[in-house]
């Protein structure tokens, strides 16, 4: 139960970062968002 609650929290954070990624104009900041998304997405999809 707790595991899936944390997956939901990670998904919430990742979805906000994804929204910001598409709104962001600077490629430098977009790059920073991409590296933050890597562990979050891999954990959400339980690849790692």
Partner 1 sequence: MPIELIILFSMLIVFAGGVFWLKLPSGVAMAAASFIGALVGGHGIPVRHLIEGTFGYLDAVLIISTAMIFMKVVEATGALGTISYGMIKSLYRSPSLLMILVAFFVMFPGMLTGLSSACILTTGALVAPALIGMGMPAVSVGAFIAVMAVLGMIAPPINIPVMIIGGGVDMPYVGFEKPLIFLTFPLAIVTALYYRFRFIKKIDVNEVLGKLPQSVYDKHGIKLFIPIFIVVGLMIGVRFAPDGIPDFGIPLIFMIGAVVGLKTGEKVDAVKVSRSAIRESLPVLGILVGVGMFVQVMTLTGVRGYLALSALQLPPELLYPGIALIMPAMGSAYAASSVIGVPILFVFLGRNEIVVTSALSLIAGLGDLMPPPSLLCVFAAQILGIKNHFTILRAAVIPIIIALLFSILTIVYAADIGSFLQ
From candidates 4, 22, 43, 44, binder to partner 1 by CB under 8 A: 43
Q: Indicate the Cα dihedral angle 32, 8, 12, 33, nearest 10°.
A: 10
Q: Which residue, 25 or 28, is less far from partner 1 as judged by CB?
A: 28
> Per CB under 8 A, does 45 bind partner 1?
no
> Per CB under 8 A, does 5 bind partner 1?
yes
Query: What would the two tokens of residue 5 be?
Result: 């609650």
Tokens 């970062």 correspond to what residue? 17
User: Are 40 and 17 in contact, with CB atoms under 8 Å apart?
Assistant: yes
Using CB under 8 A as the binding rule, the residues of this chain from 10 to 29 that contact partner 1 are 10, 12-13, 16-17, 19-20, 28-29
């Amino acid at each position: 139960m707790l595991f899936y609650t944390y997956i939901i929290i990670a998904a919430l954070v990742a979805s906000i970062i994804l929204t910001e990624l598409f709104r962001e104009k600077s490629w430098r900041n977009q790059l920073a968002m991409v590296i933050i998304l890597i562990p979050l997405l891999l954990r959400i999809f339980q690849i790692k």
